[in-house]
Amino acid sequence: MASAHCPALFLVAPASGQGKTTITAALARLLTRQGKVVRVFKTGPDYLDPQILEQASGQPVEQLDLWMAGDAWCQQKLYEAAKEADLILIEGAMGMFDGTPSSADLAARFNIPIAIIMDVKGMAQTAAAIATGLANFRSDITVAGLIANNCSTERHRELIEEALPDSLPLLASLKTSDEVALPERHLGLVQASEVADELELRFSAGADWLEQSGFSGALNGFEEVCFESADIAVVEPLLTNIRIGIAKDVAFSFIYDANIRLLQAMGASVHYFSPLADDCLPEVDALWLPGGYPELHVEALSKNKPMLAAIKAAHQQNMPILAECGGFLYCLESLTDLNEEQYPMAGLLDGHGAMRGKRGCQGMQSLPLPEGELRGHAHHRSRSHETPEPIAYGKRQRHAANGESIYREKQLTASYLHVFFPSNPRAIAAIFNPKGILNA
């Protein structure tokens, strides 16, 4: 088994909202500005943070999740990154021990040292106590130090540093800065494509912010981590000559790059189109309508009658279609936005969608489809009603209650679930090429 060595750092926090993405993006930009190749990964099924981190680093960003993607897949991706990078950064999700598997589980599995990011506003020695507790909660992780975010003064820094044990150094103290904070909306960060120019200003300010703290110098002391290659199954050419149309614009953008690469590895050609701007579909054999923010563009989507008619015609002609979350809402008869305005949608499936403010659903689930079981996750703040009887329900990772409803109408497969295609390539091939898979 081949191996590659590369310094790596896992950036975690005691909770969400501590500044992980802001600091990870700023560090990626600072090191990139210094001429280093930085490969960044994001823990868990996140779409928005990777967009930000990709722009900051200038390199592709992968999602790592031991449950959704699998141990071998994560191992191989880290190995491939280690072969080309000067440094690997991994941004955790939620709190460092939250979830099963957690960020700490991933760090422990691959022996990656951890830096704890903590918003220390309103506390001093208590921040040291919390960080010490996190560092010693498990014996199978290595914590390299603490990054104190929103550390207001030099005296504030001294109080925290003096309270830390020698085994837990203060890697950096970062003063509050409105210039580096990343823009947000109801499902998390704003998509990078919508605010690319603004992000450049914030990345530059963030790099200066970290450089002034001396944090980049602390990275020089990290030892290299050994990453080994994994035994990954060879991808079968089950989608040879299949043309797949993929909705992609500001309304539909929740697309794992790993999904695209898998489709192409199986022989498919991908053809992007915009449900917002285009008036016809490309010449394709199947469609993928991924998630995104259709609720923010619902009026424009509804007014694009030629595209709605084209998608409905494709469905009536029995074209295979996979619709996920926002794509599922687009397939319903109507969608009601956050202003409680209702707009007609494609009408491929009976039922209506409506946004519901801050309440929503999220979590890891598997999809028990006739083609095979896939893995993915739900993350939405809308509801659907008056829909048909589902063919199945998502299976929650750690709860017996039914997960998201899964619908099948002709060759449309629709649900709120976002699917990670590499979790079962053969099942994905069967969805997009049902006739071909029967003959394979």
Domain coverage including residue 266: 243-439
Q: Is residue 198 part of a domain?
A: yes
Query: What integer is the mean pLDDT of 83-109?
Result: 96
pLDDT at 186: 45
pLDDT at 187: 47
164 and 104 together in one domain: yes
pLDDT at 191: 61
pLDDT at 185: 45
> Per-residue pLDDT tens for 150-182?
998 999 999 999 999 999 999 999 988 777 777
208 and 344 together in one domain: no
> Per-residue pLDDT tens for 276-324?
999 999 999 999 999 999 999 999 999 999 999 999 999 999 999 999 9
Say which DSSP state 317 is in.
Answer: T
- Domain C-terminal end among 203, 228, 253: 228
Residue 121 pLDDT more than 50? yes
Say which DSSP state 196 is in.
Answer: H
Cα(348)–Cα(315) distance, integer angstroms:
7
H-type alpha helices, 214-349:
215-218, 257-265, 298-303, 305-316, 326-331
Residue 356 pLDDT more than 90? no
Number of compact structural domains in the chain: 2
Query: The dihedral of CA 146, 147, 150, 151: what is its sign?
Result: positive
Tokens of 334: 């109507």
Q: Is residue 333 part of a domain?
A: yes
Residues 418, 394 contacting (CB under 8 angstroms): no
Cα(69)–Cα(423) distance, integer angstroms:
6
Can you give the length of the chain in residues?
A: 440
- Domain C-terminal end among 199, 228, 257: 228
Binned at pLDDT 50, 70 and 90, residue 381 comes out as confident
Known active-site residue 6: no
Residues 171, 11 contacting (CB under 8 angstroms): no
Mean pLDDT rounded to a whole number for the chain: 92
> Per-residue pLDDT tens for 247-258?
999 999 999 999
Query: What integer is the mean pLDDT of 144-154?
Result: 94
Partners of residue 247 on adjacent β-strands: 273
> Per-residue pLDDT tens for 314-338?
999 999 999 999 999 999 999 999 8
pLDDT at 343: 97
Tokens of 311: 């998608």
- Domain C-terminal end among 174, 199, 228: 228
Residues 421, 258 contacting (CB under 8 angstroms): yes
Query: What integer is the mean pLDDT of 25-50?
Result: 92
Half-sphere exposure of 341 (CA within 13 A, CB side): 9
Give 221's contacts (C-beta < 8 A, 6+ positions apart).
Answer: none
Q: In what order do the strands lie in the sheet with 342-344?
A: 342-344, 334-336, 352-355, 382-385
pLDDT at 358: 62
49 and 177 together in one domain: yes
pLDDT at 214: 78
Taking each continuous run of H as one helix and of E as one strand, the counts in the chain are 14, 26
204 and 152 together in one domain: yes
Please give the full DSSP string across 50-112, using - where no structure is assigned.
HHHHHHHHSS--EEE-TTTT-HHHHHHHHHHHHHH-SEEEEE--SSTT-SSS-HHHHHHHTT-
Residue 361 pLDDT more than 70? no
Q: Is residue 236 part of a domain?
A: no
183 and 67 together in one domain: yes
Axis crossing angle, helix 196-213 with helix 48-57, rounded to the nearest 10: 70
% pLDDT > 90, the chain: 78
Burial class of residue 10 (count of CB atoms within 10 Å of its CB; 0-12, 13-18, 19+): buried
Residues 125, 163 contacting (CB under 8 angstroms): yes
Q: Is residue 287 part of a domain?
A: yes
Q: Which of 6, 74, 151, 325 is catalytic?
A: 325
267 and 207 together in one domain: no
pLDDT at 189: 47
Residue 274 pLDDT more than 80? yes
> Per-residue pLDDT tens for 382-410?
889 999 999 999 999 888 888 899 999 99
178 and 220 together in one domain: yes
pLDDT at 165: 97
Q: Is residue 316 part of a domain?
A: yes
Rg (CA), the chain: 23
pLDDT at 177: 79
Q: Is residue 233 part of a domain?
A: no
Residue 98 pLDDT more than 80? yes
219 and 324 together in one domain: no
With CA atoms as reference, report the closest residue to 25 among 201, 169, 284, 277: 201
275 and 150 together in one domain: no
What's the pTM? 0.91
267 and 176 together in one domain: no
Q: Is residue 238 part of a domain?
A: no
Q: Is residue 191 part of a domain?
A: yes
142 and 273 together in one domain: no
296 and 173 together in one domain: no
Please give the full DSSP string across 379-425, using - where no structure is assigned.
EESEEEES----SEEEEESS--SEEEEEEEETTEEEESPEEEGGG-H
